Amino acid sequence: MNLRTQLDFFHDAGPDVPALVAAGALFVVNHSGGKDSQAMLIRLIEQVPASNLLVVHASLGEVEWPGALELAQQQAEAAGLPFIVARAGKTFLELVQHRFERYPHAPSFPQAGNRQCTSDLKRGPIEREIRRYAKANGFTTIITCMGLRASESAGRAKALPWRLNQSGSVAGRTWYEWLPIHTLFTSEVFAIIREAGQVPHHAYALGNERLSCCFCIMASQNDLRNAALHRPELYAKYVALEESTGYTMHMSRKSLPELTGLSVRQAQRLHELNTP
């Protein structure tokens, strides 16, 4: 079967999922452990048979919120779906240190414009695992599903909900990327999780708006402060890296203590006071 155009299988209402299933496509759920991934998987399970689904989590190691991998794994396994962890050969902190040693006069932290962290730590390892799985299991049509939503940002609003992955569509393989919950609002995402009888990651109950790296280059001040209060040992590592490289992590170019309003010592102290 030769599937090679951007709009193959796509109609006004979205991709023709039954036709893709009939064509033997593999739907890969890119699951961060966050609310959007969780709601997306709930929705996909309603449309796609388990035999055509795979769940992949890109593990960020110590820099991601504890429990994110486990939530993704539990949700996948509860639905009887295969689950794969994709790991990069380096961590976020190693990536920054490496950039500093190689280019000491250029910003050491990934920039929001190119997001080397996303490509090196998530997209690359995930695509490698998908290629392996598809080859081992005879899938030649792949649909990577991601939980990006238009209401999250102007950039995400412009993202195409369905597109051909040109670079991945080689060697007899056709690869699409789909945003199944692109039109949903945050309240709808939480409603889907609640109505499915599931609970989102505990970081939301702690006040987080989003979930991935605890200290994301694009995170809100709210989420950065929350991470500093709940992961003070990791906060200390990021602050030390800002100090040793002379560059700031966040896209605002403000330092982490400026953004969180907390020194490392204050974060540690508040964490101790709030830990039973």
Using CB under 6 A, list all residues that contact ligand SF4: 110, 115, 117-118, 121-122, 212-213, 216-218
**What is the 8-class DSSP label of residue 118?**
I
Q: How far is the CB of 60 from ligand SF4 (least distance, A)?
A: 6
Q: How far is the CB of 113 from ligand SF4 (least distance, A)?
A: 11
Q: How far is the CB of 173 from ligand SF4 (least distance, A)?
A: 26
173 versus 254: smaller Cβ distance to ligand SF4: 254
115 versus 173: smaller Cβ distance to ligand SF4: 115
Q: How far is the CB of 32 from ligand SF4 (least distance, A)?
A: 8
53 versus 213: smaller Cβ distance to ligand SF4: 213
Report the C-alpha gap between 122 and 132 in whole angstroms: 16
21 versus 218: smaller Cβ distance to ligand SF4: 218
Tokens describing residue 31: 């699951």
Q: How far is the CB of 94 from ligand SF4 (least distance, A)?
A: 13
**What is the 8-class DSSP label of residue 170?**
-
**What is the 8-class DSSP label of residue 67?**
T
Q: For tokens 């080689």, what's the residue?
A: 170
Pairing of strands 162-164, 174-178: antiparallel
Pairing of strands 53-59, 141-145: unpaired
Report the C-alpha gap between 81 and 22 in whole angstroms: 19
87 versus 115: smaller Cβ distance to ligand SF4: 115
Q: How far is the CB of 115 from ligand SF4 (least distance, A)?
A: 5
* Count of residues in the chain: 276
Q: How far is the CB of 17 from ligand SF4 (least distance, A)?
A: 28
Tokens describing residue 155: 């950039």
Pairing of strands 53-59, 83-87: parallel
40 versus 213: smaller Cβ distance to ligand SF4: 213
**CA angle 152–154–159, rounded 5-degree value:** 85
Report the C-alpha gap between 53 and 80 in whole angstroms: 10
Q: Quick count: other Cβ atoms within 10 Å of Cβ 53? A: 22
Q: Find residue 85's DSSP bridge partners.
A: 57
8 versus 242: smaller Cβ distance to ligand SF4: 242
